[in-house]
Amino acid sequence: MIIQWSNEDNCFLVSLPDFPSQQWRTHGNFYEEAVANGKEVIESLIISYQADGEPLPKPSIATAA
């Protein structure tokens, strides 16, 4: 989950790069709200993948610079 502030939208945007399709999945006016909303979207995606019998995407591995 990647959370970034958007001056244009005046909120925190949440992206889930390991899940294909839309870049931005949810948002929040406060960081904590964005985290909670992101967790909710991840849970929903997992349920959807399981219901469709699809394997979950492999997580990407971040490395420190």
Q: Say whether pLDDT at 61 is over 70.
A: yes
* Sequence spans of domains, the chain: 2-51
Query: In this predicted model, what pLDDT tens digit does every residue of 9-58 receive, in sequence order?
Result: 999 999 998 987 766 689 999 999 999 999 999 999 999 999 999 999 98
**pLDDT of 65:** 72
The two most distant CA atoms of the chain are separated, in Å, by: 39
Q: How confident is the model at residue 63 (pLDDT cuts 50, 70, 90)?
A: confident
* Tokens 């406060």 belong to residue: 30
Report whether pLDDT(64) > 70. Answer: yes
Q: What is the pLDDT of residue 22?
A: 67
The backbone region for 36, taken as left when phi is positive above 0, alpha when psi lies in -120 to 50, beta otherwise, is alpha
